[in-house]
Amino acid sequence: MINNLVSEANRLSGQEIDLCYHCHKCAAGCPVVEAMEYGPDRLLRMVALDQRDAVLRSRDIWLCAGCYTCSTRCPNDIDISAVMDALRKLAVTGGYPAGERDALLFHKLFLGVVQRLGRSHEAVMLGLFKILSRVPIYRDIDSGVALIRRGKVPILPKKSGAASDVQQIFRRSK
Amino acid sequence: MSYSFYPGCSAHSTGLEYGLSTLATFQHLGLELEELAKWNCCGASSAHALGHHILSLALPARNLAIAQEAGRDLVTACAACFSRLKKADHTLRNDPETREEVESVVGFKFTGEVTVRPVLAVLYEDCGLEKITAHMQRPLTGLKVVTYYGCLLVRPPEVTQFDDPDDPQVMTELLRAVGAEVKPWSYATDCCGAGLSLSRSDIVYSLVDRLTERAQEAGADAMATACPLCQLNLEMRQSSKSKMPVFFFTELLGLAFGLPEVKNWWTKHLIDPRPLLRSVGLVK
């Protein structure tokens, strides 16, 4: 089995990245392209050219909001969102520092809460995010207080009745 | 008609008024929603974003298994939950190898008898515009809105199989059926920034500002949406001083139906919509 970046990303995502002919439709429609280093079309080319370090360290794979605009518009039906999922997985398993540290932290905290409780729980997740992220701790305090006052962020989680099943799903999905 | 209802985590938290207004409008229209017993989180974007492929399908598939037992179509209000439930359903229908793996992780046999549907589709297809207009007590005359779908109700279209991915019409038609003045615009399916809201709020502020500016240009005084994360971002990440109210479309249906509960929904908003509603004579 060949282990260059494109074959690994193809295998994980079920896509054929080599089909890209660089029409730039993905980059034109991407809502976060302005904040990216390369943008989705250049990133696909870099994957094809096996530029593993640059791709897996880039902030672009973490800035992708998963909106599926690129996947929907690609004339060659490459599901670029699925490629981004695969690249994030390769970055994490390869031990690359996330190009957007707090984006990775958010996903990890979210899944950690779901694994324990069976459902999401904003108060726990947001509290941990505030403590562990590099986002200034005072940011969004007013919105947080407003949400709590409106009864929209329950402090204690309700029992979902799903926790043990969900823990088993997490174990078996490894 | 009766359905299994998957509220999703946000209907019990940040999207509280979406859950409440969905239940109230369905009840008013004689559509029965029974909450799925012991449902679990669908994994949202995080499970697939970290490349946990099987987990991202098995978490929603457990809910499909419960819905299968209940034997009714599975209806969900949240756009992200819809996306994940529908993705699992689509994969289980079309990829036998993955189906076997997911079935063994969850411990069930997929029959494909249950259809996953967004609230919008049920109201449009099963209830229909005529019946919705017939239930109208108070037309939303003078309320100028744009309808905003966000990403996950319509993309990727081969999975969602709902409405037009570039120019969706269902929410527009539903709100026009109760007299709202829905303005045409080109940004109904642009992204609000979704889960980047916490880690990169700067990006989400700029996306949300662009959306509200375009909505104003279109002549709207408010936005109507069908996604709880979009609604939260749209309310929380407007940087201008004058804030544009953002409704769940079900709240506007409830208002038009004359439901007494509506007053409990307005107070849940981060941007109080009552001054706007007062200005067009829709609340006192």
B170-183 pLDDT tens trace: 999 999 999 999 99
Looking at the structure of chain B, the number of domains it has is: 2
Q: Do B28 and B87 reside in the same domain of the chain?
A: yes
Question: Looking at beta carbons, which residues of chain A come within 8 Å of B62?
Answer: 162, 165-166, 169
Question: Looking at beta carbons, which residues of chain A come within 8 Å of B54?
Answer: 173
State the residue range of the domain holding B21.
2-119
pLDDT digits (tens, 9 = 90+) for B144-167: 999 999 999 999 999 999 999 999
pLDDT digits (tens, 9 = 90+) for A36-54: 999 999 999 999 999 999 9
Last residue of a domain, one of B71, B96, B119: B119
* Segments of chain A scoring below 70 in pLDDT: 1
What is the rounded CA–CA span in Å between residue A18 and residue A114? 36
Report A:114-143 residues touching B (Cβ under 8 A).
114, 118-122, 126, 129, 133, 135, 139-140, 143
B124 domain residue, yes or no: no
Last residue of a domain, one of B95, B119, B143: B119
Written as six digits, the tokens of B244 are: 């544009």
> Would you say the pTM of this structure is higher than 0.90?
yes
B159 domain residue, yes or no: yes
Q: Report the CATH number that the domain containing residue B148 is assigned in CATH.
A: 3.40.50.11810
Q: Do B6 and B109 reside in the same domain of the chain?
A: yes
Q: A122-126: list long-range contacts, CB under 8 Å, 24+ apart.
A: A122/A147, A122/A153, A122/B13, A122/B14, A123/A148, A123/A153, A123/A154, A123/A155, A123/A156, A123/A157, A124/A157, A126/A153, A126/B198
B284 domain residue, yes or no: no
Phi, psi dihedrals of residue A70, rounded to the nearest 5°: -60, -45
Q: Do B149 and B254 reside in the same domain of the chain?
A: yes
Closest among B242, B248, B236, B249 to B208, alpha carbons compared: B236
Q: Report the CATH number that the domain containing residue B81 is assigned in CATH.
A: 1.20.1050.140
B273 domain residue, yes or no: yes
Q: Is B51's CB within 8 Å of A88's CB?
A: yes
CATH placement of domain A5-93: 1.10.1060.10
Alpha carbon B102 to chain centroid, angstroms: 26
This model of the complex carries an ipTM of 0.96
Average pLDDT score over chain A:
95
What is the rounded CA–CA span in Å between residue A3 and residue B49? 22
CB-closest option in A111, A121, A162 to B39: A162
- CA distances B226 to B86, B247, B260, Å, are 16, 9, 21
Q: Do B264 and B159 reside in the same domain of the chain?
A: yes
User: Where in the sequence of chain A do the CATH 1.10.1060.10 domains occur?
Assistant: 5-93
Q: Do B114 and B135 reside in the same domain of the chain?
A: no
Closest among B149, B160, B161 to B185, alpha carbons compared: B149
DSSP for B110-143?
Answer: ------EEEHHHIIIIII-HHHHHHT-SS--TT-
